[in-house]
Amino acid sequence: MNQIKKLLIIGFVWPEPKSSAAGGRMMQLISIFKENGFEITFASAAQDSDFMVDLFEFGVIKKNIELNSSSFDDFVAELNPDVVLFDRFMIEEQFGWRVVEKCPKAIRVLDTEDLHCLRTARQKAFKENRIFELEDLLSEEVAKREIASILRCDVSLIISEFEMSILKDVFKINEDLLFYLPFLVDEMKEGDLLELPSFEKRNDFVFIGNFLHEPNWNTVQYLKEAIWPSIKKDFPEAVLKVYGAYPSQKVLQLHQPKNGFYIMGRAEDANEIVKNAKVVLAPIRFGAGLKGKLLEAMQCGTPSITTSVGSEAMYANLPWNGFIEDDPAEFAKKAIELYQDENLWKQSQKNGIEIINKCYQKKDYLEKLISLTNSLLIDSKSHRLHNFMGNLLQHHAFKSTMYMSKWIEAKNK
């Protein structure tokens, strides 16, 4: 009889799939490992939130842990997981050395979510009003930490093909340490569009995104200041509804019904909202990873307009399900065209289905991920032996992080 394999996920936050794409991604990973017979424990030092999922419902054990506390050492030693998945590099920095010390045989997997160094470097270039260059990454402080974390792990899950190429070409990371895993969804057929609200039954432009995420807040400001005035001028009856979890006072102050600009706050059911909207607007100016909101739009049969950063690595150069436009005046013009032209709108829907079926099929990735995990479980020794840079970093980071953490723990006492 096969022994049950144990997976420990250490979360940056508790999963909130209705609040962010990151929460949805985490639930996908949980279901993949669950379906493949893993017993899962999800641990986090984050505060519980009103919107987190009930992990118990998904057959996952929930464990509250503390930062800089040797209580984690006792917990992880007793659990003795076969695989440990770190949710973002900051979590690997915090807990990775403890896992290595107490469970040296456990396979260490990093889910990067997106490359934080790419997002940070782009944001910096944007704020300094200059064009982002790939070389910017080499001097980015976050890059040094993030790349070190990737090297210390046995494998890192990378959500974007563009980020895969950055890691291989700019940072010269061995392909054996990387696994491309985009968002995963079920196949769609053109007939599925008949189940969705028709062109005539839909109304309004919509934007949706978690406001704790800086690129989303910037996008809404950009919409309000640079794009919406042009749309409203040429299409006076236009309405834009902006949804998102955790809106700050600054966000709420943009609510201007007289101008057709509505801040709606948290979406109870994002799917329902996007399904009934006519067009998704997402003029994203900086960021990284894949945009869950744009994939969701395709699944809901809702055409979208975004920028080259928004669409990056999302569509395998197939026709977009709407338009990709970086110029604000053109963006506004194309938004009106997509909203009013039924034939163009319907063709954009079909483009979305083609992208979903070409780029995001579960069946294309599930088996490979589980097969990789199993092969690492069988022979991690050889894999690690050939990751000399990772071993080197593990050796030095172990000492520095360990002593810093032990100092904080002693200070807290």
Domains defined along the chain, listed by start: 5-184+362-412 (3.40.50.2000), 190-359 (3.40.50.2000)
Of 245, 57, 249, 215, the closest CA to residue 123 belongs to: 215
Residue 19: predicted pLDDT: 87
- The residue ranges of the chain whose pLDDT is under 50 are 1
Residue 30 to residue 55: CA distance in whole angstroms: 10
Q: pLDDT per residue over 40-98, tens digit each?
A: 999 999 999 999 999 999 999 999 999 999 999 999 999 999 999 999 999 999 999 99
Burial of 367 (0-12, 13-18, 19+ CB in 10 A): exposed
Contact 287, 120 (CB under 8 A): no
Residue 131: predicted pLDDT: 96
Residue 309 to residue 290: CA distance in whole angstroms: 10
Residue 92: predicted pLDDT: 96
Residue 378 to residue 285: CA distance in whole angstroms: 44
Residue 397: predicted pLDDT: 65
Contact 169, 161 (CB under 8 A): no
| Interstrand relation of 178-180 and 279-282 (parallel, antiparallel or unpaired) | unpaired
Residue 1: predicted pLDDT: 41
Residue 222 to residue 216: CA distance in whole angstroms: 10
Average pLDDT of every residue of the chain: 94
Which pTM value belongs to this model?
0.94
Residue 14: predicted pLDDT: 97
Residue 28: predicted pLDDT: 95
